[in-house]
Chain A
C-alpha cells in the first residue's frame, strides 16, 4: 500500500439495531500512524462505531476500508481482518481461567500458528513494554485494574495489529490507575500505531491526538485538531459537551 492510503476509511456507514438508527452516515478517514480521539455524549454511537470497525457489529450500509482494502463482510474472512485490528475494552475482558502469559499468547499460538516458545518470548517482551514483566504467571483476578488493562493491551498487540481501537479503556479504573494505562497508550502512539480512541480523558486528547472527532446522535459533527476543538469549537453542541466534561 502506498503511504498516502488511509489506514481506516469509512464511507456513509449506517448501523441499525432493529429500528434504532445508531450510526447515520459516518464518513471518517484515519491516516497511518495517526491518533484520532472520538468524543461525544453517551449513546451517540462511539462504541458502535469502533465495534463496526472490527466487525463485532456489521454495518448495514456503507463501506469500510482497512488499509486501503474494502472489507465486504460477505466475501471477506472477518477473522483475518479482526486479527489486524486490535481492540481494548472498558472492562478489560481478560480470560480469567488463563494466566497473564496465556492470555497474551492464546491468539498468536492458535491463529497465527506461532511456535509456543517464540510466542512466549514475544509476550514477555510485550509485557515488559507495558511494565508487567514480573506478572506473567499471575491470574487476572490477582491484578489491579490498571494492570489488567495493560495486559489487555499487550494481548491485542501480540497479534501485531495495524490498528488499535480503545473503547473507554480507562473509564473503569480507579483515578490513580488511569495514568499508567494512558502512558502505555501514549508510548504506543509514539511508536507509530494507528489508533482510534474513545475517551473522556481530554488531557490525553490534547497531548496525544492528531485529530479529535465529535460525534452526536450517530453523526460526526466536528472533526478538528485538538487545539481548535478544545479552544474554539465550531459547533455549539461541541462546546456544550466540552463544558460538561471539562
Chain B
C-alpha cells in the first residue's frame, strides 16, 4: 500500500486537484441552481411551482449514475463538451435538487414576522428577501449544505465513468495495471476521507463563526430537516 502511495503520488495529487475542481465547480453551480429552484418552489405561480416539483422528484427518484449517463449523452448531443464539463454540469443538476430543498426549508424556517417587519418599513419584496430573509436563511442552511457538499465530493467519483481522471478514475486505471485492486482502492478511499475531514473542519469553523454574537442568546434554532439521498 505504501508503495502504491509512493509510486503514484503525483498521479493521485493531480487526481485530487481534479476531484476538487470538479466538486467546487459543480457545487457552485448547484448553489445557483438550488437558489433559483427554491424560489420557483416557493412561488405562488403553479407553473413555476410545478416545474420545480418535477425537477426535484425526478432527480430524487433516479440514481445519480443514470442521471450522469443520461445527461452526458444528452448534453453531448446538443453541444460539444469535454467530459469534465459534462460531468460537472450533471453533478450540479443532481446536487441542485437537494440544495434547492435545503434553501427552501431554510427560507421557510425564517419567522414570517421578519418579512412583514421589513415590508412594513416600505422595503420592497425582493429587497426584503435579500436584506432580511436570505442572510438569516443562509446561516441556517450552512450545516445541511456542508453535509450536501460532502455528499457532492464523494459523488464526483462517478464521473470517472465519463473518463475523467479524478481520484476514483485514477485508482481504476492504476489497479488495472498493478493488479492490486484492494490496496489501490484503499488508497483512493483514504484520499477521499482526508478531503472530507478537512472539509468538515472548515464547515465547523464557519458554523462557529456565524454563531458568534448574532445568535448567542437566542433560543435554539429548530433543526432543519433535509433529505439524504
Contact = CB atoms under 8 A, between A and B. Distances in A.
B215 A110 contact: no
A142 B117 contact: no
A230 interface: no
B120 interface: yes
A215 interface: no
Contacts of A89: 113, 116-117, 120
A139 B213 contact: yes
B interface bracket (residues with beta carbon within 8 Å of A): 20 to 34
Interface stretch (B89-97, B122-130, B148-156, B197-205): B122-130
B123 A79 contact: yes
A183 interface: no
Interface in A50-109: 54, 56, 79-87, 89, 91, 93-97, 106-107
A156 B116 CA distance: 13
Contact of B116 (A56, A81, A83): A56
A226 to B, nearest CB: 27
A9 interface: no
Interface residues of A, number: 29
A67 B71 CA distance: 59
A89 B111 CA distance: 13
Interface in B100-143: 111, 113-114, 116-124, 127, 131-132, 135-136, 139
B114 A95 contact: yes
B62 interface: no
Nearest to B138: A97
A61 B215 CA distance: 43
A245 interface: no
B218 interface: yes
A69 to B, nearest CB: 16
B131 A93 contact: no
Contact of B124 (A79, A85, A142, A156): A79
